[in-house]
A and B are shown apart, each in its own frame.
Chain A
Amino acid sequence: MHVYLYDEYVNKKKYDNVLARIETRITDLGLNGKIIRLGVMKNIGEAVESEMKRGAKTIVAVGDDRTVNKIINAMIKAEIHSQLSAEIPFGIIPIGKENNKIADSLGISEAEEAGDVLSARRIEKLDIAQAGNHYFLSQAKIESRGTTVEIGKDYSIEIMETGEINVINLSVFSNLPENANPNPQDGVLELYIKTKGARTLKQFAPQENQSLFSLKKLTLINKKSSIILDNAIEIATPAEISVVKKLNIIVGKERKF
């Protein structure tokens, strides 16, 4: 059975029409299943774990990047704590244009298309990274000022300008440098550092404000700033980041990897 987890914000009246259209499409495609509405009183971890135990065929996040992050965390934690199978495919129905970069990157740019994507059931095994005790699919972001990046015992990176550090698994960027080619299936993370003072490509030089590293494991340290995972969750540093798992994710034909 398909299990649809509706995030709390989709209960707003402005989403009534789009949800009605999606529900009709899902019924037409024969994909209807159980709907769980997340809220303050609903423990997402328990809800996901109990549906996984009952043998859910697909778990679908109906919401945004934050919803995706919450459900992925719940699925992996349920797998670890209760030794449940992590083979259950995970799908996304993006609601609202804002903060739905993960779905877009997976080739699900419109809510109305999501039903067809679920129906096509194109499953890819994607890397899931861990930062501290949390998991993420797309990226970990922190401001560069005061941040040190440690790569094992081998070397460390200090950033001397203000800007942003991104540890990318699944890219949600539209303007990455040509050299960067993050692949969420290769077990490697791209460390992309962008600092202020951007200039155009110069002769004999890369763009002056961009740095790029391919890494398997790194630690971010910043006493003042926290890391933001999947544009959704803030965690404190120091945090070790690496690819730890794979998850079956239903993707669209237009995926960007």
Chain B
Amino acid sequence: MGEALLTKNMFKKQDDREKIKEVETIIGPSIKVKGNFNGQGNIVVEGSLEGSLKTNGDVFIGDKAKITASIEAHEARIGGEVNGNIKVKKYVEVAASAKIFGDIECSSISVEQGAIFNGKCSMVSEKKEAKEEIN
């Protein structure tokens, strides 16, 4: 994945089409995944998922997606309903359509007006993260 895609603007409109091309897994709207999903690349979820979702890449949760799972990813854009904790190394974008019932851990966050978020949000600074990696 190109460096440009890792910026905070990665989910801005102009980048979306490019972003989607880089996706390794697409869980479409008619799909229900049950269990522990471990991926390496970027994942788009438009359907439903129960269990856990873990990837080294980025996660894109579509507006109509329904997730009952913990999420771990590099960056994330949440547009749908998430029941579970979200742990992201870098940036989380919470869209207006999002409904989050769980805690968020990240380095940077933006929450659009209209989003529902019931949970704690803890910010992990990059410095601390780097320290943890050294240790």
Would you call B8 an interface residue if the criterion is a C-beta within 8 Å of the partner chain's C-beta atoms?
Answer: no
B34 — which chain A residues lie within 8 A by C-beta? Answer: 155-158
Q: Is A98 close to B, CB under 8 A?
A: no
- 1/0 per position for A127-164, CB-CB distance to B under 8 A? 00000000000000000100000010011111111010
Closest approach, in angstroms, between the C-beta of A162 and any C-beta of chain B? 9
Name A195's closest neighbour in chain B (CB-CB).
B30
CB of A214 within 8 Å of the partner chain: yes
- Which bucket holds chain A's interface residue count? 20 to 34
Q: For residues 179 through 222 of chain A, which have their beta carbon under 8 Å from a beta carbon of chain B?
A: 179, 193, 195, 197, 201, 203-214
The answer for the CA separation of A157 and B32 in the assembled complex, in Å, is 6
Say whether A28 faces chain B, with CB atoms less than 8 Å apart. Answer: no
- Expressed in whole angstroms, the minimum distance between the Cβ of B95 and any Cβ of chain A is 8
> How many Å from the CB of A229 to the closest CB on chain B?
23
Identify the stretch in B43-51, B81-89, B113-121 within 8 Å (CB) of chain A at 4 or more residues: B43-51
- Tell me the residues in window 15-61 of chain B with beta carbons closer than 8 Å to chain A beta carbons: 16-17, 20-38, 44, 46-47, 51, 60
B63 contacts the other chain (CB 8 A): yes
Q: Could you say which interface size class chain B belongs to?
A: 20 to 34
Given contacts A179-B21, A195-B28, A206-B26, contact A154 B38 (CB under 8 A): yes
**B28/A211 in contact, CB under 8 A:** yes
Whether A214 pairs with B25 at a CB distance below 8 angstroms is yes
User: B residues within 8 Å of A by Cβ?
Assistant: 11, 13, 16-17, 20-38, 44, 46-47, 51, 60, 62-63, 79
Give me the 6 closest cross-chain CB pairs, A-B, nearest first: A155-B35, A211-B28, A161-B30, A158-B32, A212-B26, A195-B30
